[in-house]
Amino acid sequence: MTEPPWLTEARKHIGLREIPGKRHNSTVVNWGISLGAWWKDDETPWCGTFVAHCLRSAGQPVPAEWYRARAWGDYGSLLRPSRLAPGAILVFSRGGSGHVGFYLGEDPLYYHILGGNQRNSVNAMLLEKPRCIATRWPRGVPVYGGPVQLSGGVISTDEA
């Protein structure tokens, strides 16, 4: 099955991690710089930066406030949960802020999400379905496939 190019780009970075302390991961920093960020560290929440980098590398536009997870809630077009496909952009609640990542699949309780700044790295993890507040797809791009049923993975904590 073909997957969208932004998801292919996202997969290339699985395992990329923040650097603890005064040093910073230059890849994360450079994503921010290329997108116009005013910060130059990997301590600032970067889930939106990761999503923006992947979409932009695939020739897709990004929202004006790409660095805010909840800004992705109005991005592109609505994709109903029953029509989700790998690469869909899912936004989750997290206190007053949020989290954003790419849909890989789901099981009865969780969405399996590939994202950045998930436990300070790029990885796949599970996030509870009730936390999902938006399901989006780039406007004008055909949806590749449909829902994927999966099992297993890392269950979320307050870190995502």
pLDDT of the residue at 160: 59
- What's the confidence (pLDDT) of residue 152? 62
- The reported pLDDT for the residue numbered 151 is 76
> Which residue numbers in the chain have pLDDT < 50?
157-158
> In this predicted structure, what is the pLDDT of residue 153?
58
- Domain positions in the chain are 5-137
Task: Report whether 24 contacts 40 (CB < 8 A).
Answer: yes
**What number does CATH give the domain 5-137?**
3.90.1720.10
pLDDT at res. 98: 96
SS (H, E, C) the chain: CCCCHHHHHHHCCCCCECCCCCCCCHHHHHHHHHHCCCCCCCCCCCHHHHHHHHHHHCCCCCCCCCCCHHHHHHCCEECCHHHCCCCCEEEEEECEEEEEEEEEEECCCEEEEEEEEECCEEEEEEEEHHHEEEEEECCCCCCCCCCCECCCCCECCCCC
| Token pair recorded at residue 45 | 């929440």
Cα–Cα distance, 158 to 156 (Å, whole number)? 7
Q: Is the pTM of this model over 0.85?
A: yes
Note the pLDDT tens digit of each residue in 33-68.
Answer: 999 999 999 999 999 999 999 999 999 999 999 999
**Computed from CA positions of residues 151, 116, 61, 69, in that sequence, does the dihedral angle turn out positive or negative?**
positive
Measuring CA to CA, which residue among 144, 116, 105 is closest to residue 13? 116
Instruction: Quote the CA–CA distance of 53 and 1 in Å, as a whole number.
Output: 23
What pLDDT is attached to residue 156? 52
